[in-house]
Amino acid sequence: MTTNRHDGSGGPEADGSRTARTEFDPRAVVAHDGVLGLLNTSGLLDAADVHVTRRLVHLSGGQVSETAQIGAALAVRAVRQGSTCLAIARIPELVADDEAVSAVMPSSAELERALADSVLVRGGATGPLRPLVLATSDDGPLLYLRKYFRQEELIRSVLGERRSSRPDVDVTDVASAVDAVFGPAGPGDADLQRIAAQMAAVSWTLVVAGGPGTGKTYTVARILAVLDRLAGGGARIGLCAPTGRAAAQLQAAVSADDAAPRSVRAVTVHSLLGWRPGAAPRFGQGNKLPHDVVVVDETSMLSMTAMSKLLDAVRPDARVILVGDPHQLASVEAGAVLADLVDGEDATPPAPIPSGLLDDGVMSTVADRDGVERGVVTLRRGHRFGGGIARVAAAINRGDADSVLDLVGDPTVTDVTLVSADDLDDVRSDVATWGSALRAAAVAGDASAALDALDGQRVLCAHREGVWGVQGWSRRVVDWLAELPDHPPNLSVDSTSRHAGQPLLVTANDRQTGTFNGDCGVVVRTGLASDTLDPEGDGLRVVFRRGEHLFELHPTQLADAVPMYAMTIHRSQGSQFDGVTVILPPEGSELLTRELLYTAVTRARQRVRIVGSPEVLAAAVARRVQRASGLRSPIRVAEPT
Ligand SMILES: Nc1ncnc2c1ncn2[C@@H]1O[C@H](COP(=O)(O)OP(=O)(O)OP(=O)(O)O)[C@@H](O)[C@H]1O
């Protein structure tokens, strides 16, 4: 059984706040002297950043200036915060208006000079250890921990190599396979799903990007059918996703789509690679994966390390299709590879597209023609929701806070509203409607209706802890529900007893029961008898839905499940609900970013209520996750590596 940390907890500094450390703070370095100790006390560095830096300095065997040590510690910090490197030009952002930090922090130019001269970058007399790499890029100098530089290099070189040639296929065969799967094209039909399939046939690597409900899974099922036809049937297809839950959902979606080849099975990326904790993956450079096509779903959640292992393991003559929404939250580990690939600039141009593949007239109407030619097809037509949600989501992505505020305040836009935290009557009424529907269906033993009710509404919080986090809002929802006449009065947030209508969140992967971290189920009566669990557990079952399929478990089979009355936005990734209530904290926080807000709003199919102030909402739209990486533009390294 494994536990995925993808719940927004992210460790003690998960809210991104920087506060000065007291001596009892576990992130404080005990013997903190020197400039690193000072930066630790100020809250900029964690103990881990300081300890790793001291170790690197010790191993390098030479004198390392304080300035270079600051650079090393900031590079460690950058990885801890999700970047693959330190963007040295952005040092002033770290200083902000903190006087203590400003007094000791070198300028970007001083830092770059000190690093270029340092044994950490150049190597010392005692050995070849050079733990840091200094590179230049269009975004200014970048400082890497060597391990991450190597991973990025591998991704760059494998993708560059794959871009330089194309599979040897006949365009007339492609046209007939695409017609067979999609039906004949209409005149001037600029159908991006169809274009994605045409490009997949002639590309070693294709990115299929798009927001929720734009038909990514639908398109992948058809791409696989096209590729299978071109291979004469029997193409070996590896379908994978970063988490167990995403893989299970992908499997359910693909199985329900008649277009997809029947034999495909979705697994986690780790399982595809035979990658167990603490060991190297079974498949890699010297032992390539057998598949002809490898599809990665929810690629936005894939870390750079996992992407580098995957690309190392695919055969050069296997197609790779990366699918996902680049605007969503990135991996909890370092890297935002999908967003980098979608927005980045390639060092080498792609091999020419075979003539006759794409209709020139059709392509002249495609807005992002350059993207298509680079092998990045972005689907834009929403098939699931429209109206206000799509407009608000688009404005959030553009960083257009004024439009977001106009839309949420516009009385004609009824599907997205902003409500004040002092006026929660509507939210309370939504919760009551949700709870009563859940309870009624569960007491009647109607699993399908109970699961429909469960997904009818969800409270999503940016934070896990605190009054405005999952902790506080779960209590609030429970208090509201306990006052309803149809609910048991002894409801509790952390109850271990089960009752009909209780929503549950699974917190760990469990192969035996086929449940995954993040799955939500509901306790229903089986018709046998009681409302609460008796010692044998008879009378109640926990039901789950996977695609079209329902399954039930005895409550005692679920070792890792907790009552769920609210959840973090991180954990809601990959799920959809009819209505969503997004709780913003009263004060803006570093965690509250454009990506987080976009992810929350796009979980809803029909309506969104945002609880918070216009100021905090606008600040969230303006705050972008800036993960530094060298995959966005060509980079150069002065030192031999
Ligand atoms: N061209 C199409 N014609 C008809 N229905 C479509 C088409 N494209 C997508 N759909 C339908 O739209 C819905 C959303 O599609 P799909 O699940 O593939 O989107 P998605 O981008 O994978 O969404 P998510 O990111 O939320 O998983 C599905 O019911 C799908 O069958």
* pLDDT one-digit tens code per residue, 112-146: 999 998 999 988 776 667 899 999 998 899 999 99
H-helix or E-strand containing 205? strand 205-210
Residues of the chain with pLDDT under 70: 1-33, 126-128, 385-386, 527-538, 588, 638-641
H-helix or E-strand containing 309? helix 304-313
DSSP conformational letter for 538: T
| Other C-beta atoms lying within 10 Å of the C-beta of residue 90 | 16
- AA letter at 637: V
* 181, 216, 383, best to mutate for ligand 1 pocket (most atoms within 8 Å of CB): 383
pLDDT score recorded for residue 365: 87
Classify the C-alpha dihedral 389-394-396-400 as positive or negative.
negative
What DSSP string describes 326-371?
A: TTS---SSS--HHHHHHH---SSPPPPPPTTSS-HHHHTT-TTHHH
Query: Ligand 1: which atom is nearest the Cα of residue 218?
Result: 18
Q: How far apart are CA 329 and CA 593, in angstroms?
A: 9
Query: Ligand 1: which atom is nearest the Cα of residue 576?
Result: 26
For ligand 1, residues with CB inside 6 Å are: 193, 210, 212-218, 383-384
CA of 562 to the centre of ligand 1 (A): 31
- Going from the C-alpha of 34 to that of each of 50, 69, 270, the distances in angstroms are 11, 10, 42
DSSP conformational letter for 584: -
The answer to whether 202 and 223 are in contact (CB under 8 A) is no
- The size of the chain, in residues, is 641
Structure tokens at 537: 């557990």
CA of 592 to the centre of ligand 1 (A): 29
CA of 199 to the centre of ligand 1 (A): 19
Residues in contact with 388: Cβ distance below 8 Å, sequence separation at least 6, in sequence order: 407, 413, 414, 415, 416, 608
- Look at the block and give the residue holding tokens 């980045």: 344
Q: How far apart are CA 304 and CA 147, in angstroms?
A: 11
Query: Ligand 1: which atom is nearest the Cα of residue 193?
Result: 1
Q: How far apart are CA 410 and CA 212, in angstroms?
A: 24
Q: How far apart are CA 22 and CA 273, in angstroms?
A: 44
pLDDT score recorded for residue 560: 92
Annotated binding site: 210-217
Max CA distance (Å), the chain = 78
CA of 221 to the centre of ligand 1 (A): 10
Query: Ligand 1: which atom is nearest the Cα of residue 381?
Result: 8
pLDDT score recorded for residue 589: 78
Phi and psi of 515, rounded to 5°?
Answer: -110, 150
Beta-carbon-side half-sphere exposure of residue 169 (alpha carbons within 13 Å): 28
Three-class secondary structure of residue 456 per DSSP:
coil
Q: Which residues of 99-120 are buried (b: 16+ CB within 10 A; e: fewer)?
A: eebeebbbebeebbebbeebbb
DSSP conformational letter for 626: -
* 182, 207, 217, best to mutate for ligand 1 pocket (most atoms within 8 Å of CB): 217
Classify the C-alpha dihedral 534-537-538-544 as positive or negative.
positive
**pTM summary value:** 0.89
Nearest CA to ligand 1 atom 2: 215
Residue 405 CB burial class (10 angstroms; 0-12, 13-18, ≥19): middle
pLDDT score recorded for residue 536: 46
The answer to whether 581 and 361 are in contact (CB under 8 A) is no
Three-class secondary structure of residue 21 per DSSP:
coil
pLDDT score recorded for residue 130: 86
CA of 220 to the centre of ligand 1 (A): 10
Query: Ligand 1: which atom is nearest the Cα of residue 210?
Result: 21
Q: How far apart are CA 556 and CA 538, in angstroms?
A: 10
The answer to whether 607 and 434 are in contact (CB under 8 A) is no
Please calculate the CA angle 342-266-256 and round it to the nearest 5 degrees. 95
ipTM more than 0.95?
yes
Q: How far apart are CA 138 and CA 581, in angstroms?
A: 40
H-helix or E-strand containing 80? helix 66-80
Classify the C-alpha dihedral 496-553-277-154 as positive or negative.
negative
pLDDT score recorded for residue 531: 53
Q: How far apart are CA 451 and CA 58, in angstroms?
A: 57
Beta-carbon-side half-sphere exposure of residue 511 (alpha carbons within 13 Å): 5
Phi and psi of 341, rounded to 5°?
Answer: -70, -35
Three-class secondary structure of residue 143 per DSSP:
strand
Structure tokens at 581: 């209530």
* 218, 250, 546, 598, best to mutate for ligand 1 pocket (most atoms within 8 Å of CB): 218
Annotated binding site for ATP: 210-217
pLDDT score recorded for residue 434: 97
The answer to whether 620 and 613 are in contact (CB under 8 A) is no
The answer to whether 76 and 145 are in contact (CB under 8 A) is yes
Please calculate the CA angle 384-390-392 and round it to the nearest 5 degrees. 150
Structure tokens at 172: 């007339």
Can you say how many angstroms the Cα of residue 315 is from the centroid of all Cα atoms in its chain?
Answer: 26
CA of 215 to the centre of ligand 1 (A): 3
Query: Ligand 1: which atom is nearest the Cα of residue 253?
Result: 17
